[in-house]
A = this chain, B = another copy of it.
Amino acid sequence: MTQETLELTELVAARDYDAVGDWLAEHGALDIADELIRLEPSDRAVVFRLLAKNRALAVFEALDPIHQQQLLDALADDSVHELFLHLDADDRARLLDEMPAKVAKRLLANLPDYARTNTNLLLGYPEESAGRSMSPRYVSVRAAQTAADALSKVRRAGLRTREVHVLPVTDDQRKLVGVVDLPDLVTAEVGTPVGELIRPETYSVRVDDDQEMAARLMQEADLVALPVVDTEDRLVGVLTVDDAMEILEAEETEDIHRAGGVEPLDVPYMDAGVFHHARKRALWLLVLIIAAASTITVMEAFEESLEAVYILAFFIPLLVDTGGNSGSQASTVVIRAMAVGEVRFSDLPRILHRELRVGLLLGLMLGGIGFPIVSLLYGADFGMVVAFTLLAICTWASFAGGMLPLVARRVGVDPAVVSAPVITTLVDATGLIIYFTIAGLVLGL
């Protein structure tokens, strides 16, 4: 954390392994993981081996699955199996997803039976489902047990702490009836039946429910753990809050990438090669340039006006930019409001009514400022054309920006897709029609 010490990269470059050892001793697992990924892949394994065994696991867990895989590739086989065995089943499943099938198969084959069974169970659920991200290890208790009996069951189980902050309560058929918080078990009288300590509101999700939905439920209901059940309401696992936070971060990244016109990257920025980056952007650039080709058609349609008054071309970039910005603003706030559950399709009429008035207000402001300036420089005719166009474009772009995300979701498209770049391109052609029409009327072309 301190700025005075040399960076790990420099110590490694100097091959000063004593100093590297000191550096590792002074830093936490998160910092070490952060610096480790800045080293060349071959150096990472060298440094990683200098870590004490129990710290090595903490550092390994702090890495992304893609960096974990790179590290495993570089380590010798025996330490690989060691590390792999000590991961949580859900982390192991996520790591296996990233690996070539052959390597994954060999690693799985070397696991003890109980760990292999748990991991295979998770790998059987669809990607991005709650089942894939849950932990299959939990301690469940019965409603009829006393608090003391439940606590001694927790003691016997010997699970990792994050798995026993909250305990699912089941009936004789393993069906979920509620959850009890460990603190409530601890503070209750020893003879209290667990049934009396069950939380008033019970939340649970199905194994095949979407993991983002599950994570958002945990966030909204302030849950530390969420039971996952099968189609017959039988308990099969628990989703913990640390996994929920990771799921939400990954989903936010996807939304933000889509909003910027990029297909979500599968790997961290620095690990994606040039071709990977280009591939993730090429499709949208192509779609958008094909859509933008419609602006050429519009310009051709108004060719005579343009030939007569070529000065009209001067204002085109400014006008299409402003339309695009106005539309992006509207779609940005509506998309975010949808993502956090504030608005839904039935709110469409109210949203459109609001966006129309917001756009009108902004258009009046820009037009009011633009009119005197453009009039002064190019004459009152041009001033009127630009001012009226700004008014009309802002209103139309806000309206379109507010409408499209909701319509997109209605027809089953991710609303994040219809944001800034898409809206910009869509309102450009229509904005030009507005511009040349107003110019034709005012200038009598």
**Which residues of A come within 8 Å of B, CB atoms?**
28-30, 34, 54-55, 58, 61-62, 151, 154-155, 158, 161-162, 164-165, 181-184, 186-187, 200-201, 203, 217-224, 241-242, 244-246, 248-249, 252-253, 255-257, 259-262, 265, 268-270, 274-275, 277-278, 281-282, 284-286, 288-289, 292-293, 295-296, 299-300, 306-307, 310, 313-318, 320-322, 324-326, 328-329, 331-337, 340-343, 347, 350-351, 354, 357-358, 361-362, 365-366, 369-370, 394, 419-421, 424-425, 428-429, 432
The answer to whether A158 and B182 have CB atoms under 8 Å apart is no
Residues of B with C-beta under 8 A to A351? 269
Q: Known contacts A288-B325, A314-B296, A354-B274; is A245 also within 8 Å of B259 by CB?
A: no
The answer to whether A154 and B424 have CB atoms under 8 Å apart is no
The answer to whether B425 and A186 have CB atoms under 8 Å apart is no
The answer to whether A342 and B432 have CB atoms under 8 Å apart is no
20 A–B contacts from the bound complex (CB under 8 Å): A28-B201, A55-B200, A61-B222, A161-B183, A162-B224, A218-B245, A219-B242, A248-B248, A256-B335, A257-B333, A257-B336, A260-B331, A268-B337, A285-B329, A285-B366, A292-B318, A324-B424, A325-B421, A325-B425, A328-B421
The answer to whether B296 and A332 have CB atoms under 8 Å apart is no
Query: Across chains A and B, which 3 residue pairs bring their CB atoms closest together, nearest first?
Result: A260-B332, A269-B337, A222-B242
- A34, closest chain B residue (CB): B341
Q: Per a CB cutoff under 8 Å, which of B164, B269, B420 touches A343? A: B269
Quote the shortest CB–CB distance from A25 to chain B (angstroms): 13
Quote the shortest CB–CB distance from A415 to chain B (angstroms): 12
Residues of B with C-beta under 8 A to A299? 313-314, 317
The answer to whether A62 and B161 have CB atoms under 8 Å apart is no
Residues of B with C-beta under 8 A to A286? 365-366, 369
CA distance A279 to B34 in the complex (A): 40
CA distance A341 to B224 in the complex (A): 25
Determine which residue in A270, A275, A369 has the highest number of CB atoms from chain B within 10 A of its CB, and name it: A270
The answer to whether B261 and A328 have CB atoms under 8 Å apart is yes
The answer to whether B321 and A201 have CB atoms under 8 Å apart is no
Q: Per a CB cutoff under 8 Å, which of B257, B269, B277, B285 touches A342? A: B269
- The interface residues of chain A, by DSSP majority, are classed as helix
- A422, closest chain B residue (CB): B325
The answer to whether B219 and A249 have CB atoms under 8 Å apart is yes
Q: Per a CB cutoff under 8 Å, which of B161, B164, B257, B421 touches A324? A: B421
- A262, closest chain B residue (CB): B329
Residues of B with C-beta under 8 A to A306? 310, 313
The answer to whether A186 and B332 have CB atoms under 8 Å apart is no
Quote the shortest CB–CB distance from A303 to chain B (angstroms): 8
The answer to whether A358 and B277 have CB atoms under 8 Å apart is yes
Residues of B with C-beta under 8 A to A421? 324-325, 328-329, 420
The answer to whether B320 and A277 have CB atoms under 8 Å apart is no
Residues of B with C-beta under 8 A to A300? 314
Residues of B with C-beta under 8 A to A253? 336, 340
CA distance A391 to B222 in the complex (A): 50
The answer to whether B361 and A275 have CB atoms under 8 Å apart is yes
CA distance A159 to B324 in the complex (A): 52
CA distance A189 to B310 in the complex (A): 87
Quote the shortest CB–CB distance from A9 to chain B (angstroms): 9
- A315, closest chain B residue (CB): B296
The answer to whether A317 and B332 have CB atoms under 8 Å apart is no
CA distance A354 to B265 in the complex (A): 15
Quote the shortest CB–CB distance from A39 to chain B (angstroms): 13
Q: Known contacts A284-B329, A299-B314; is A321 also within 8 Å of B425 by CB?
A: yes
Residues of B with C-beta under 8 A to A162? 222, 224
Residues of B with C-beta under 8 A to A248? 245, 248-249
Residues of B with C-beta under 8 A to A181? 161
CA distance A329 to B61 in the complex (A): 31
